[in-house]
Structure 1
Amino acid sequence: MDHATTKRNQELQRQWYGAPLGELCRDLCGLFGMTQSGLAEILGVSPAMLSLVMRGQRARIANPDAAARLSAVLHLAHDVRAGTVPPGEVVDALAAIRANRTPGQDSLGAAVTQPSPAGEPEGDGDLCFALRLRDLFNARAGAAEILEAAALLDAPHPGLAEILRTCGAGRTDEAVDLVRRLAPRPEDGRRGRS
């Protein structure tokens, strides 16, 4: 990979995440006393993939679950530095982030429903909708971009900002709760506005 592409990827990372991922990941490893392989395990990516992103050979982590976990680890680091998460709770918090969503499961460990032969989701429709919405957001932007967009919308459109934050960069169970709270239901005639 040429130097110009690496620089471009690092500049994109700076726009999306606030700094190149190499800097951010080294900072996270130092703060939490873990190796790069340990961080990769929490994110749910291979150490080689994390290394490519850290060196700027890839601009972002393409896996939406791993990108959401990175966002959660960055938020945890902020909370640890702010003193809102005590050091004794960090190991459990990191384990919870790692378990947030694994292939075939939602963040609560329940099986993710598969589409029926007709292409319609079976099972929990709110879960399916929340997962599709998150996949849609993450196909277009990384967690940092989603959070940045939510911050821009906070004052003029707080409801939209909440949807972006929760469904685009939040935990699956929180997204399902939001969908259940806001989505219109044919039986009650709600319009979904807050």
Structure 2
Amino acid sequence: MDQAAMTRNQELQRQWYGAPLGELCRDLCTLFAVTQSGLAEILGVSPAMLSLVMRAQRARIANPDAAARLSAVLRLAHDVRAGTVPAATARETLATIRTSRTPGQDSLGTASLPPAPPHPAPAPAHGPAQGPDPDAQFALRLRDLLNSRAGAAEILAAAALLEPDHPGLADILRTCGAGRTDEAVNLVRRLGAGRDAGARRTGP
């Protein structure tokens, strides 16, 4: 494969996952203390296939179950780093992901994720925890709703169509439907802060 095609695949991976899969998968191996072959086993693909994706000779994993597991492992990694999932339970969650199946999903595997053990939502940044974070809960519900209706590629395509006339809606689609969890939560918080400020200006 020529360099131009590999560069194009890396750019697609950035759009879908936030970074090239070579970087992300190496980070996953370090975080969870597994080899590349071990990560491939968790995802349910051959080490050779995972290597092709990491080298950007393939843009994505074609098997929908394996692609969904990759999305689940990436989300677990984010939650472990954020402290919302204890690192001690990560192995158990990885075992659950390894045996999960998501029939009918697209080849990005983003339409649904396997169930994870219950854990508290991130605490609001402006003070001590007072129960579940409503912004995080809303962002997760919105993402699950969008992902239940379309895959990441379709969501990104819809956002591109909306961008010229409705950039705000396009941003919501891209971020909440195909972006990282922290980006979606931050966007919900920004939009909520703007709504609250407008209400204060027009209130009694």
Q: TM-score normalized by structure 2?
A: 0.55
Q: How does 1:1-194 map to 2 (within 5 A)?
A: 1-101=1-101, 131=103, 134-135=104-105, 138-139=106-107, 142-143=108-109, 161-166=143-148
Structure 1 contact 143–168 (Cα < 8 Å) conserved: no
CA offsets 1:116-164 (integer angstroms, 9 cap, x no match)? xxxxxxxxxxxxxxx4xx33xx05xx245x69xxxxxx89xx9875333
Counterpart of 1:150 in structure 2 is none
**Alignment CA distance shift 1:44-1:6 (3 Å):** same
Q: TM-score normalized by structure 1?
A: 0.58
**Alignment CA distance shift 1:39-1:167 (3 Å):** farther
**Alignment CA distance shift 1:163-1:32 (3 Å):** same
Structure 1 stretches of 4+ with a deviation exceeding 4 A read 158-161, 166-169
Q: What code does the residue aligned with 1:70 have? A: L
Counterpart of 1:123 in structure 2 is none
Question: Please, which runs of 5 or more residues in structure 2 have no aligned partner?
Answer: 113-137, 152-204
CA offsets 1:57-102 (integer angstroms, 9 cap, x no match)? 000001110110000000100110011111211110000000112x
Question: Please, which runs of 5 or more residues in structure 1 have no aligned partner?
Answer: 107-130, 148-153, 170-194
Q: Percent identity, aligned pairs only?
A: 67
